[in-house]
Amino acid sequence: MSDRFSYGGGARYYDQFSGEWLYRAGRVEGVQMLGARAGDTVLDVGCGTGKNFPLLLEAVGPTGHVLGLDRSPQMLDVARARVDRHLWPNVTLVQADATRFTAADLKGRTPDAVLSTYAMSVTDDPDAVWQCVRAVTYPGSRVCIVDMRAPTGLARLLEPLARLACAMGGADINAHPWTLLEADGAGVEVRGLRGGHIQVGAGTRGRSAADTSSALRTPHSGPAIHD
């Protein structure tokens, strides 16, 4: 396993030590900026124990679906227990490596939107994750990346703490994965929270030469997508 951190043995303690007092703001803002609609299928990349699921399910409603993808079986066990406890019928868990998953891993579902919170900076290749996200979505799919960087302004005084938190979670504080969306997406907005330590970037997945006409499906009867 080449990634920075395994999220294996500590999985059952993750919910107690994930620092929700600080980091929940990012997932709340992320789901809001993602703008998923009722009936959408949302892919949560590096879903961990499923802390985003309640917010995502509220957004997509009973006709929508959440796909939670993570590499760690132990994190997915905790996520599964959460799903079972809440009797959520519309969540599917996928064990896969975010740097190399394909549409075939997604159990026949095509994501209308993709969210990743505090996960891309933990992988050793955020660009590979982005390429996988591109490959399983269509132009116009909503994407939101929430991750961490060193705080700015007065909050720079807290930089050692921010660095410690990232190091403890195996995250590269310099990875800045939302910049991949900024460089490659359309209509991207980035907001900083908690002194800039949390960055929330959201926009639509743009179109590239690699997109064939069959990849240009738009499952919703909304306006045509021009990007």
Ligand X SMILES: C[S@@+](CC[C@H](N)C(=O)[O-])C[C@H]1O[C@@H](n2cnc3c(N)ncnc32)[C@H](O)[C@@H]1O
Beta bridge partners of 104: none
Cα dist. 59→41, 152, 184, 204 in Å?
10, 31, 25, 17
Give residues in contact with ligand X (CB under 6 A). 3, 7, 18, 27, 46-48, 51, 70-72, 75, 97-99, 117-119, 122-123, 169
Closest to ligand X by CB, 169 vs 177, is 169
List phi, psi (to 5°) of 55. Answer: -70, -40
Query: Distance of alpha carbon 15 from its chain centroid, rounded?
Result: 17
Closest to ligand X by CB, 60 vs 98, is 98
In the complex, minimum distance from the CB of residue 25 to ligand X, in angstroms, rounded to a whole number: 12
CB contact at 8 A, 114 and 130: no
In the complex, minimum distance from the CB of residue 85 to ligand X, in angstroms, rounded to a whole number: 17
In the complex, minimum distance from the CB of residue 6 to ligand X, in angstroms, rounded to a whole number: 7
Closest to ligand X by CB, 124 vs 211, is 124
List phi, psi (to 5°) of 174. Answer: -100, 5
In the complex, minimum distance from the CB of residue 199 to ligand X, in angstroms, rounded to a whole number: 14
